[in-house]
């Protein structure tokens, strides 16, 4: 039996899978606020309860934002800041008396989809999450690619490639830089840009296609209104597709993956899978592009499933 834990800022979820990937059990609890030791205890409790309920002992993998520093063995880059700087792996191993594996949640997403999800059987998989943030993991021959810095696939804080004049210097990012891919392709990023760019579009569109600009729409609402024929929203969605195509073309030029799987809230926009591959060859340095772009199979469950497969 394999146990996977998705350790997030608001909830901790556990899943138990059998060797064929069938779900045996799933539970979740709220993440203790701001207390590292309580968080460890909550994880241990979930593991003990799951094993008592199933009468089995399992291997344990944990997916969480951030990465383990190879140099110090401590967690870094987590948005759950109480975890940063902690030796979470060692602490859990001594608490649970077993070997524990920890990986970034985007890596877990990619591993889940590569193991028995939308990218099953593919050799090189780029799994990208387009949600409130943007991140990605790389799986090669069924194994997560990790490097000396533990950041393979961290593409959300690269600059938007092949920028146009109006995209420079780009929105301010929390990481301290401007124009990061995340500021264009995350849900909140897309919503913010729509607010700004739809005002510009009003000046170039004929009167009859004008829409109310300045109202604050969520990314979901922008997509919905585009479907209903709203011209400004349609333009924002086309810009989003174009930016995603450029950002993925950049990845294809470096990694040349067999398949790119999308997860996160923005991955539910069905037209991306048709429209983005139609235009990405504008930037891929090849006479043809055979990389496939697909939607996740397990969605939000891929983080916890991937943790179990670690």
Binding site for Zn ion (CB under 5 A): 157, 173, 175, 177, 180
Nearer to Zn ion, 27 or 177 (CB): 177
CA distance 61 to 5: 6
CA distance 35 to 13: 17
Nearer to Zn ion, 161 or 277 (CB): 161
H or E element: which one contains 127? strand 124-130
Least distance in angstroms from the C-beta of 159 to Zn ion: 9
Least distance in angstroms from the C-beta of 157 to Zn ion: 4
Nearer to Zn ion, 154 or 205 (CB): 154
CA distance 7 to 290: 35
CA distance 88 to 98: 13
Nearer to Zn ion, 14 or 180 (CB): 180
Nearer to Zn ion, 122 or 193 (CB): 193
CA distance 265 to 168: 26
H or E element: which one contains 76? strand 75-76
Pairing type for strands 67-68 and 259-263 reads: unpaired
Least distance in angstroms from the C-beta of 182 to Zn ion: 5
Least distance in angstroms from the C-beta of 248 to Zn ion: 18
Nearer to Zn ion, 42 or 173 (CB): 173
Half-sphere exposure at residue 2, Cβ-oriented, CA atoms within 13 angstroms:
19
In total, the chain counts a number of residues equal to 310
Least distance in angstroms from the C-beta of 127 to Zn ion: 19
Going by C-alpha positions, the residue among 50, 68, 57 that lies closest to residue 105 is 68
Least distance in angstroms from the C-beta of 250 to Zn ion: 15
């Amino acid at each position: 039996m394999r146990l996977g834990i998705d350790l997030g800022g608001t909830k901790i979820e556990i899943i138990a899978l059998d060797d064929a990937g069938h779900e045996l059990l799933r539970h979740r609890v709220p993440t203790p606020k701001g207390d590292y030791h309580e968080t460890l205890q909550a994880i241990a409790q979930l593991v003990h309860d799951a094993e008592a309920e199933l009468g089995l002992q399992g291997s344990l993998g944990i997916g969480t934002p951030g990465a383990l520093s190879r140099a110090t063995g401590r967690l870094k880059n987590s948005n759950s800041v109480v975890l940063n700087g902690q030796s979470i792996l060692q602490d859990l191993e001594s608490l649970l008396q077993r070997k524990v594996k920890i990986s970034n949640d985007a890596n877990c997403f990619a591993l889940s989809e590569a193991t028995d999800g939308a990218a099953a059987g593919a050799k090189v998989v780029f799994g990208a999450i387009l949600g409130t943030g943007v991140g990605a993991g790389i799986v090669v021959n069924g194994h997560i690619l990790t490097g000396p810095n533990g950041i393979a696939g961290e593409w959300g804080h690269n600059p938007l490639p092949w920028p146009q004049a109006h995209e420079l210097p780009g929105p301010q990012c929390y990481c301290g830089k401007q124009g990061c891919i995340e500021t264009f392709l995350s849900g909140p990023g897309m919503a913010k840009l729509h607010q700004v760019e739809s005002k510009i579009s009003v000046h170039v569109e004929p009167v009859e296609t004008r829409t109310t600009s300045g109202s604050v729409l969520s990314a979901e609402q922008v997509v919905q209104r585009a479907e209903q024929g709203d011209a400004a929203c349609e333009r924002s969605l086309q810009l989003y597709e174009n930016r995603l195509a450029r950002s993925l073309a950049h990845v294809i030029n470096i990694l040349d993956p067999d398949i790119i799987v999308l997860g996160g809230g923005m991955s539910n926009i069905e037209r991306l899978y048709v429209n983005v591959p139609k235009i990405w060859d504008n930037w891929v340095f090849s006479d043809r592009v055979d990389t496939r772009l697909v939607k996740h199979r397990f969605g939000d469950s891929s983080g916890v499933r991937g943790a179990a497969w670690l």
